[in-house]
Amino acid sequence: MKRLDFDLPSRATWVFTGDSITQGVHHTHGSRSWVELVSERVRWELGRVEDIVVNSGVSAWTAHEISADFEYLVGRFAPQVLSVSLGTNDALDGEPGLVSFHRRLTEIVRRASSIRSTVILHTPLLVMPDAPAPRREWLTAYAEVIRTIATNEGAILVDHEQHWHQHFRTEYPTAWMDDSTHPNAVGHRHIAETTLQTLRLGSLREQF
What proportion of the chain, given as a percentage, has pLDDT over 90?
A: 93
What pLDDT, in 10s, does the model give residues 30-66? 999 999 999 999 999 999 999 999 999 999 999 999 9
Q: Is residue 1 part of a domain?
A: no
pLDDT grade, residue 7 (50/70/90)? confident
Taken in order 2, 141, 75, 73, the sign of the CA dihedral is negative
- Residue 4 included in any domain: no
Distance separating alpha carbons of residues 89 and 3, to the nearest angstrom:
27
pLDDT digits (tens, 9 = 90+) for 115-168: 999 999 999 999 999 999 999 999 999 999 999 999 999 999 999 999 999 999
pLDDT of residue 6: 62
The answer as to whether 2 is a domain residue is: no
First and final CA of the chain: distance in angstroms?
Answer: 29
Residue 142, domain member (yes or no) = yes
Pair 60, 20: CB distance under 8 Å: yes
Task: Report pLDDT for 5.
Answer: 54
What is this structure's pTM? 0.95
8 part of a folded domain: no
Kindly report the CATH number assigned to the domain that includes residue 138: 3.40.50.1110
What values do phi and psi take at 4, rounded to 5?
Answer: -70, 130
Residue 87 is assigned to a structural domain of this protein? yes
Contacts of 110 by beta carbon, 8 Å cutoff, 6+ apart: 153
Q: What single string gives the DSSP state of each residue in 41-97?
A: IIIIIT--TT-EEEE---TT--HHHHHHTHHHHTGGG--SEEEEE--TTGGGGTGGG
Over 60: is that where the pLDDT of 169 sits? yes
Instruction: Report how many domains make up the chain.
Output: 1
Q: How many other C-beta atoms lie within 10 A of the C-beta of residue 136? A: 17
**Domain-embedded: residue 205:** no
Domain carrying residue 135: 13-198
Bridge-partner residues for 84, per DSSP?
A: 17, 121
- In three-state secondary structure terms, 183 is strand
